[in-house]
Every structure is written in C-alpha cells, then in structure tokens.
Amino acid sequence: MDKRELIEKINKLKKEKNAIILAHCYQNIEIDYVADFVGDSLGLSQLAAKTNADKIIFAGVYFMAETAKILNPAKKVYLPNISGCDMADMINLEQIKKFKEKNPNIPTVCYINSTAAVKSECDICCTSSNAIEVVKSLNTNEVLFVPDRYLAGWVEKNLPNVKITAYQGYCPTHFKISAEDIINKKNENPNAIVLSHPECRDEVVEISDFVGSTTQMMKYCKESKNKEFIVATELGVVQRLQRDYPDKKIIPISKEIFCPSMKENTLEDILYTLENENNEIKVDENIAKKAINCIDRMLKI
C-alpha cells in the first residue's frame, strides 16, 4: 500500500470509528496528513477533551497517551507504537518517593514529561512554557523539580530567589546540542536568530536569542519579522517550520537532533491500531486520581 492509499484508508476509518488522531510535532511529518491536531502533549490532550470522539489515537510516547487518558477518562486511548520517553523513564514511582524523602516538606513540581505514577506523587505539574509561572505561583523559596535538571535550571535562572533542588534527569536528544554547535551555525549564518528549548544544556541556553517551548518557538518564527532562524530543538519542529514558512530560512542545528522514540510511529502503525484497536492505554484508578489533581492545579493558574 503506498502512502496515498494509507492516508485515504486511515482518514476513512477514523471517521467510521469516531476516532481522532493526535500528533506531537516531534513525529514523522507525514503523520500530519492524518492528524486532527498537531502540537505539544498537554495541548493535544486538552483539545481531545473538547471533541465528541470515542477514541483517541495518540502519535507520541507513553506519558503523553497517559495524560490524554487522565484528561479523557471516558474515551479509549491508543498508542500506535508503545514507545517510552528517555527522560520520563529516568524516574519511577520509587525514585520520586525516595527523592522526596531526602528533601522533606518541600513542594514538588513535575514536568509534564513524566509518567502518571510520578505525577501522582507531585504537588503540581508544569510545561516548558509555564514552568516559571507555576513555580512562582507556589510563593515559596524552595521547590523540588523532576525530572529535567535543565528546565529546572532555566526556571531558577529566572527566579533567583527560589532555590530549586532538581532531580538529575535530562532529555538525551536536547543534550546532544552544544554551545559549539550554536557558535558554528551562527558564524555560518550571522543574521539568524538562535532559538532553543529550555531542555537544552545551560551553555546553549546562555547564548540563545530566544528560549521557549516548542509552541513558543514556532509562534516566534511565525510572528518575527526576521527571516533567518537557527532552531536548537528536535528535527520534527524544524521540518514543520520549513514547510509552514517557506519564505523564511529555518536552519536545523543538526539533522542528527531527532528523538528515536518519537520517530517510531508510522502511518502503517496508525492504520493497524485503528483496525485492531491494539495498545490501549489504561491508568490505575488511584494513580489517575492523584495525577489529575497535579495537572488540575497547573491548569487553574
């Protein structure tokens, strides 16, 4: 079956089954042809909650599908390819409990890029776009932050009166980006604005012109009058920016900066899941109740 036939069959079948397809913007770009919504993980889950779909096919990784299930308990959620997130998998339920035991009586903030079990042990959730605002809202001079130490460092830099004790997790994909990569690309493209994700190492963030979440970077490219951008994040974002803004020069920091787990989903996987309804995601009821409180506290800010 060629790509055109795959796309036609998926689009036909999802209508028959009253299903929607969510695609994270790190996914293979061809998945956009069948996706109802493309974006970041939390935003996608929230959009799904506003639809009348019975089924959600989430082209992403495990923690994203879990979040979608928590926010849409009455809907069936499926993950075409059971893929974990390397950063989210750096901390589990026992590890978060031990981390809190070593640092008692301190509010715990967890990045949305964490499993439902980890969320269930945290006070409040955050995204890369609202992490500073979330920590600030706690009105405390000390917090624990899991699992990304680099996002934690970005928050602490912007809130110098708050001491952040960070779990030592990180995104292996963003970790590959170095300051030398930025400098070399900037030398080659002196008029370009450097955009980076706060999951990047401190040395990268320090020399970037703009630091923000995936959504914030894409919005910046759209609205900026500048015509050249060096984009220090996952390749899927770069490819979508190149497609959507052909009048602008979008420069990848490297074609090797891609998330292997995010690239595992294919059109074939999505079709198979629609046909067979395999890989349904379920979250333990007690964990889901605690995790939704963690997410809801963030959404109320």
Q: List alpha helices for 29-109, DSSP H.
A: 41-49, 62-71, 93-102
Domains of the chain in start order, with CATH, are 3-84+262-282 (3.40.50.10800), 95-172 (3.40.50.10800), 177-252 (3.40.50.10800)
> What pTM does this model have?
0.95
Q: Tens digits of per-residue pLDDT, 46-99?
A: 888 888 999 999 999 999 999 999 999 999 999 999 999 999 999 999 999 999
- State residue 43's pLDDT score: 85
Stretches in the chain below the pLDDT threshold 70: none
Reported as a single tens digit per residue, the pLDDT across 223-252 is 999 999 999 999 999 999 999 999 999 999
Contact 130, 112 (CB under 8 A): no
